[in-house]
Structure 1
Amino acid sequence: MTIRRSGFSVLAGSALLAGAALLLTSCAPGAADAGADSAPPGSALAALTPEPPTGEVLGQGTVLDDGSSAKLCLGAVAESAPPQCAGIPLAGWSWEGVADAAVMSGSTWGTYAVWGTYDGDTLTVTRAPVPLALFDAMPLPDPTRGEPGTATAADIDTVQSIVPDAIGAAYLGSYDQDGWIHVDVIWDDGTWQRAADQDFGAGKVIVRSALRLVE
């Protein structure tokens, strides 16, 4: 902290000491800076939303069609018949020529690699889907670079209690491994990753996008 000296050449000693004390008091931590870093964890995640991708994306999951509309489920799927899951709407989906589909109780479903454009709500299909049993996915880069994370048990509890509400409907699930907390979302362009680092500290959270840009 820089303290400017008075421009007057003659000051009473007591007045000078009093002025210095007042200046130091006003600069003390917790006075002018109170609340500067008081944002609760999860604030950055809740305040930001990734921009929709500008190119074609690929998603892998369960396509479920109840007879009126189809959706792509990228998260957890209840293993019932027909299955139950939350998903993103599919526009332009057709079962014509699509293999490996099951039909029961008016619903049709199967697991597929699906290409399309995503506007933040709906995935519009751009290519013929491929059954996951026949799909040879390319390996993805390891964001941990083989290094353990620094998340503690307290960090894990905090993140897993805050992140679902902060992200909302785009949240798919989370788990911890080797000091990292993996958070799966429908789509992230890096916005939520940066926000998670800001909220919880770098080296703890990996935000993974289920939809991937097609190179």
Structure 2
Amino acid sequence: MTSATDETIVASATLPHMSTSHSRMLLAAASVLGVVALSACSTRPASSPAPTSTGAPEWHASDVRPPEGRVIGTGTVLDAAGDAQLCLGAVAESYPPQCTGIPLEGWSWDGVDGSETSGDTTWGTYAVYATYDGTTLTVTDPPIMLALYDPIRPEDPTGGVDGATSEADLTSVQDEVSAALGQDALTVWTERGYVWVQVAWDDGSLQDAVDEEHGDGVVIVTSALREID
């Protein structure tokens, strides 16, 4: 690339054959061209900052403050020999099905439709009203079959704005979050420029932890249990 100095030398060599005004104009033009050339050499396209990461987020499900009132959770109620649990995440497609969920206290099949039984296992899909102490759900109201349940659409925590994180960075963050949370994460996926994480219940501390770890607007945390009181 021709430098500003080279342009000035060329202009100076022609000065004896030109008028003073023409010489000054040529020198000024050469200086401008030199500045533009140097700017073009030094300018590079800006890139979006990548999410930061210094390790696993400092968060433990056992430290989360439980909700104060009732919650509602939807999923599979699996009762194996009298031990009932609400499975909020994945359910193995076996017969009978298998899953790991939150223990249910006060559950009864009396008057509840929509169940199926095989051996000593009874199951069905329901919306369950309960209180939650961080480890156990205590039933407070009759359940509703999911086929008849009309949930209220939750608010979009992103406000409808898509994220700006690249697909490569999202994949990396998704892997880190999945490894860090293990079974505490019901599901982890990427969508609309974010990594989405669903846990049984977050009091806001997990969202704070992933924001501190990966930056704001990269990971969105949602709770499977929804407060209704």
Contact 1:45 1:166 in 2 (8 A): no
Distance in 2, matches of 1:39 and 1:182, equals 17
Task: Give the drift of 1:165.
Answer: 4.1
Q: What pairs with 1:36-115 in structure 2 (closer than 5 Å)?
A: 40-45=54-59, 49-115=63-129
Contact 2:57 2:210 in 1 (8 A): no
In the superposition, the TM-score normalised over structure 2's length comes to: 0.72
Distance in 1, matches of 2:211 and 2:145, equals 36
Q: Once the two structures are superposed, what CA deviation does each residue of 1:170-206 show, in whole Å capped at 9, x if it has no partner?
A: 2101110110111010101111111111111111111
Q: Once the two structures are superposed, what CA deviation does each residue of 1:17-72 show, in whole Å capped at 9, x if it has no partner?
A: xxxxxxxxxxxxxxxxxxxxx98232333599321111111100000011130000
Larger radius of gyration: 2
Aligned to 2:148: 134
Aligned to 1:6: none
Q: Secondary structure at the match of 2:221?
A: strand
Q: Note if 1:198 corresponds to 2:212.
A: yes
Q: Once the two structures are superposed, what CA deviation does each residue of 1:108-164 show, in whole Å capped at 9, x if it has no partner?
A: 000000011111111011111000001111111011211111232343233322223
Contact 1:102 1:109 in 2 (8 A): yes
Q: What pairs with 1:120-131 in structure 2 (closer than 5 Å)?
A: 120-131=134-145
User: One-letter code of the match for 2:110?
Assistant: E
Aligned to 2:201: 187
Aligned to 1:166: 180
Q: Which has the higher helix share?
A: 2
Q: 1:108 to 1:48 in 2, by over 3 A?
A: closer
User: One-letter code of the match for 1:60?
Assistant: T
Number of residue pairs matched by the alignment: 178
User: One-letter code of the match for 2:87?
Assistant: C
Contact 2:116 2:122 in 1 (8 A): yes
Aligned to 1:151: 165
Task: Structure 2 unaligned segments of length 5 or more: list them.
Answer: 1-51
User: One-letter code of the match for 2:137?
Assistant: L
- Kindly, what percent of the aligned residue pairs are identical? 49
User: One-letter code of the match for 1:189?
Assistant: D
Distance in 1, matches of 2:227 and 2:220, equals 18
Q: Secondary structure at the match of 1:59?
A: strand
Q: Secondary structure at the match of 2:59?
A: helix
User: One-letter code of the match for 1:97?
Assistant: G
Q: 1:46 to 1:157 in 2, by over 3 A?
A: farther
Alpha-carbon RMSD:
2.0
Aligned to 1:178: 192
Q: Secondary structure at the match of 2:212?
A: helix
Distance in 2, matches of 1:52 and 1:205, equals 22
In the superposition, the TM-score normalised over structure 1's length comes to: 0.77
Distance in 1, matches of 2:142 and 2:109, equals 10
Q: 1:52 to 1:168 in 2, by over 3 A?
A: farther
Task: Structure 1 unaligned segments of length 5 or more: list them.
Answer: 1-37
